Amino acid sequence: MTKRILTGITTTGTPHIGNYLGAIKPSLELARASEESFFFLADYHALIKTQDREKVRSSVTEVALAWLSSGLDTDKSHFYRQSDVKEITELNWILSCITSKGLMNRAHAYKSVISENTIDPDKGVSMGLFSYPVLMASDILIFNSTHVPVGHDQIQHLEMTRDIAVRFNHIFGKVFNLPEAVVQKKGTTVPGLDGRKMSKSYNNIIPLLSDEKTLKKSIAKIVTNSLEPGEPKDSTDCNVFKLYENFSTEKDQISFKKEYADGISWGEAKKKLFLLINAELEPVRDKYYELESNKKFVNDLLEFGAQKVKPIAAEMLERIRELVGISRIS
Ligand code: ADP
Ligand code: TRP
């Protein structure tokens, strides 16, 4: 079977180094070794999280620039906006009709909103949030993807995608592959400035596409304990060290650990982290500046990308419509 990679990033807010390390970089590496790859901007997913029109609009451009600056090759990979492929939302409805409410009740994205905000689930949870795993399943299944690179937080959604695919295949006949999540090794959830998972929703990010000064300022904000220079420090559970681990070799980590034990100051430790991250992000930033001045080019790339994938989605949807009985009268 052809290996078909697919992944998306929700277009709310500014892409951050968690997105880069957890999704963009591994996806691009996987794409280099695969026959086919699909990368998209999940803009309909963004509406679940925000009603701020400007935020959605600007985030589409930023997330597109993040992919392109990180090295996405649009000659080799399909690159498109979710909302340009209307077949996805049509499939979303068809799949909604075979997905049990009980399956969605278990979705942690919806459950965590309830537990974090102590909101009344009957009033505060939109249907979009509740049934979001079905839209995600539609993104994946419409292209019969085989491998979906995602962060740990998305594993459950991939399991649900498989459940939905199995159910559809069982009722209507085998049409969907059962896609696999491709997850970075354990422990690669990138921590944010406050030690929680780095996330646009938590306001604790280090932006991917910032200038050097902003990067330095973000790193300076990483929360640490108040041990003085010269006092031995423990690298376990340290936010600076956890971020360092994501960019360094094992050898560098051993020597950084020793510097902790020898009492490195937080200022010095953060400087080391900055130099490391900056070195990795420099080429990304250069490409970003080049593309940022040509937004029309980025837009054209996305439109061209949509034109290339739409026939694939349309053919799949036609098969599905036939199977469920929504075909033309002949
Ligand atoms: P956010 O939580 O900032 O809204 P998204 O939900 O849009 O990020 O995530 C897009 C992709 O980036 C997903 O595959 C997700 O697993 C990955 N990702 C997001 N945050 C992190 C993180 N802190 N560490 C590793 N991967 C992450
Ligand atoms: N839900 C994913 C996230 O928040 C983004 C996403 C939407 C996605 N559709 C997808 C990821 C399909 C992989 C495949 O991170």
Per-residue pLDDT of the chain (330 residues; tens, 9 = 90+): 789 999 999 998 889 999 998 889 989 999 998 889 999 999 999 999 899 999 999 999 999 999 999 999 999 999 999 999 999 999 999 999 999 999 999 998 888 777 776 567 777 789 999 999 999 999 999 999 999 998 888 999 999 999 999 999 999 999 999 999 998 775 568 999 999 999 987 889 999 999 999 999 999 999 999 999 999 999 998 999 999 999 999 999 999 999 999 999 999 999 999 999 999 999 999 999 999 989 899 999 999 999 999 999 999 999 999 999 998 776
Q: Output the CA 262–ligand 2 centroid distance in Å.
A: 42
User: Is 142's C-beta closer than 6 angstroms to any atom of ligand 2?
Assistant: no
Ligand 1 nearest-atom number relative to CA 16: 3
Superfamily grouping for domain 210-290? Tyrosyl-Transfer RNA Synthetase (1.10.240.10)
For position 104, what pLDDT does the model report?
94
DSSP alpha helices (H): ranges in 97-126? 101-105, 108-117, 121-124
Query: Any residues with Cβ below 6 Å from ligand 1, and which?
Result: 9-10, 18-19, 21-23, 150-151, 153-154, 189-190, 197-201
pLDDT at 186: 56
Residue nearest to atom 2 of ligand 1 (CA): 199
DSSP-derived letter for residue 20 is: I
At 128 the pLDDT is 94
| pLDDT of res. 85 | 98
pLDDT at residue 67 in the model:
97
Q: Tell me which of 6, 7, 146 to substitute to probe ligand 2's pocket, judged by most ligand atoms within 8 Å of the beta carbon.
A: 7
Q: Give the model's pLDDT for residue 187.
A: 56
Q: What is the pLDDT of residue 184?
A: 76
Largest interatomic CA distance in the chain = 82
What is the spatial distance between Cα 146 and Cα 201, in angstroms, rounded to a whole number? 29
* Interior angle at CA 262, CA 259 and CA 267, nearest 5: 60
Ligand 2 atom 4 nearest Cα: 10
> Which residue's CA is minimally distant from atom 11 of ligand 2?
8
3-state secondary structure 284-316: HHHHHHHHHCCHHHHHHHHHHHHHHHHHHHHHH
For ligand 1, the distance from its centroid to the CA atom of residue 198, given in whole angstroms, is 8
CA distance 215 to 223: 15
* E strand map for the chain: 4-10, 36-42, 78-81, 147-150, 180-183
Check residue 33 and give its pLDDT: 86
pLDDT of residue 244: 95
**Span from the CA of 11 to the centroid of ligand 2 (angstroms):** 10
The two domains 4-190+295-324 and 210-290 share their CATH topology (first three levels equal): no
Pairing mode of beta strands 36-42, 180-183: unpaired
**From edge to edge, which strands make up the β-sheet containing 78-81?**
78-81, 36-42, 4-10, 147-150, 180-183
* Ligand 2 atom 13 nearest Cα: 7
- The domain segmentation of the chain, as residue ranges, is 4-190+295-324, 210-290
Instruction: Tally DSSP H helices, then E strands, for the chain.
Output: 16, 5
Query: For residue 1, how far is its CA from the centre of ligand 2 (angstroms)?
Result: 23
CATH T-level topology, domain 4-190+295-324: Rossmann fold (3.40.50)
* Residue 150 near ligand 2, beta carbon < 6 Å: yes
* Phi and psi based region of residue 71 (left: phi greater than 0; alpha: psi -120 to 50; beta: remaining): left
pLDDT computed for residue 117 by the predictor: 61
23 neighbors 149 (Cβ within 8 angstroms): yes
